[in-house]
Structure 1
Amino acid sequence: MDYIKKFSEIDSNDLAEVGEKNAAIGEMFSHLRTKGVLIPNGFALTAAAYTYFVSCNHLETALAELMKKLDRKEYVNLSEIGKQARNLLMAGRMTNELGMSIIGAYDAMFEDGIQEVAVRSSATSAHLPEVSFAGLHESYLNIRGSYALLYAVKQCFASLYTDRAIKYREEHGIDHDKVFLSVGVQEMIRSDIGCSGIGFTPEPESAFPDVLHISGIWGLGVDAVQAKLNPDEFLVSKSALEQGSTAILQKNLGSKAQMMVYADESDEVNSTMCTTTP
């Protein structure tokens, strides 16, 4: 089975194999780098890797039986069912074949396993693109080394059964065993010593195709994605950019009161991230 695909081998036609997020990254990597857009390198574990992991650990029946116990009216046992499902996946053994495929791809791409990477969930199912799994599953930053990478991959697998993901599938009539988890492994960019941001095209509120919405904060982008900080925001006209005219339609400078950075290796902290004032 093809468990690993480099971003350079992925485009929008691979949605079923690598999910919406990884397909989009692969599309950008394949088509925008030639235009001077810098896309961090990486690879994706395909949905086949997830199904192989589940099969090797004989989890299909156990997960299906758990989902049958879910209270589908009041969801009073949602947290307990979700926790048990995640524990089943985390207790699963990473086989030598799958583990060595992941480590081999990591070592070959990132100089023998010393590169910090982001490990990102990218769910896929036959229901795409009718539904969106954005924000339902976990991603992990600043992962370095083979052991940490394999553990983060398992955490992503387990996040297919977050409480939010389970309820979302129930509300949209999606069978739990028909959704699979791809994992993206991508070079971390040191935005903690600079800035990070989000770009939307078209602008999400108006859906006007000519307007690009850009927001940014100092440091890592986690706080922006989770809407914990007030970012700088810009509305930009794409047609004005193409014509060389003044393109900023509107701007709002946020307070950006805090920034998330890597914790110092000498710090006695449990997390690899810390928050400070810029």
Structure 2
Amino acid sequence: LDPNDPSKGKKWTIKKALGVYRASSWAPDAPHPMSKLVFFTYFFVPLSVGMFPHLFQHWLTARSAATFKLPVVAHPLFIMIVWVPCVLVGIWATSATFEGAPLFPPHFPANAVLAAMVKKMTSPVLAGFLTAGILAAIMSSLDSQFLCLGTMFTEDMVVHYAGKDRFTDKQVVFMARMFIIIIVAITYGFSLLEPRRVFTLGVWCFSGFSSLFPIIFAAVYWKRLTKAGTYAGVIVAFGTWLYLFREAKFALNPDYTFLGMMPVATMVVVSAAAMILVSLVTSPPSKETLVRFFPED
């Protein structure tokens, strides 16, 4: 309530009331030590990068495979340059003091450390510049994802099934834009509901991408992979992800594990097993197909 104007307390919006309730009932999270098995199975999550559709689209713009040499070497180095300092700053903040007091309490949410440091230790001007930089980085990837989403809908679904000559380029672009707007509107609607933790949802999304990595790896290196095996891997990956996601109460349980491991480990193994087994019991690709995709040196 506003002590200078008590009448304002009678005009709270639902959003404000929920915010005040959460702030007044907040308690620090108890520490949850991570087992070695959970820690090491977490390494399956980065496999998701190999299945990001917008990265595929970027790679397909290259005219030669030689174009990949510099990005493949430089990309991990630049990622390290950006992320290692962030991790080190977060580690330092756990024991740092500010004006004679600990910067953060022992159980402060780990994902909020960097933002809280910026608020406490910098001026509003610097915080604004940092926020602008973060938004610029997000928009770069977000634009690529939107473009890829529209392209997948129009090229892989509409044009593929309706026929290439049925629509003009202008109509295809319009359909792509409308599809993107619909997806964004649905996503925004979900964000207005009781939210899950963004980080937890991100891990689940990346886990789904990771479960498809064995398929793309086999497509590049395994000559025995079949179309049926690919379908089996995709279907089993999706089914496993959906089952485990439901068991985790749709991301409400951020500490959910399966058999003492991160769920992504089970997804990757089961998807790979289904792909291999079905490929081995179905007819292998024809010689013409193998020559096309695995030319002899």
Bin the TM-score by the shorter chain: under 0.3
Give 1 or 2: higher helix fraction: 2
State the TM-score, normalizing by the size of structure 1.
Answer: 0.27
Q: Which has the higher contact order (CA 8 A, sep 6+)?
A: 2
State the TM-score, normalizing by the size of structure 2.
Answer: 0.26
Give 1 or 2: higher strand fraction: 1
Which structure has the greater CA radius of gyration?
A: 2
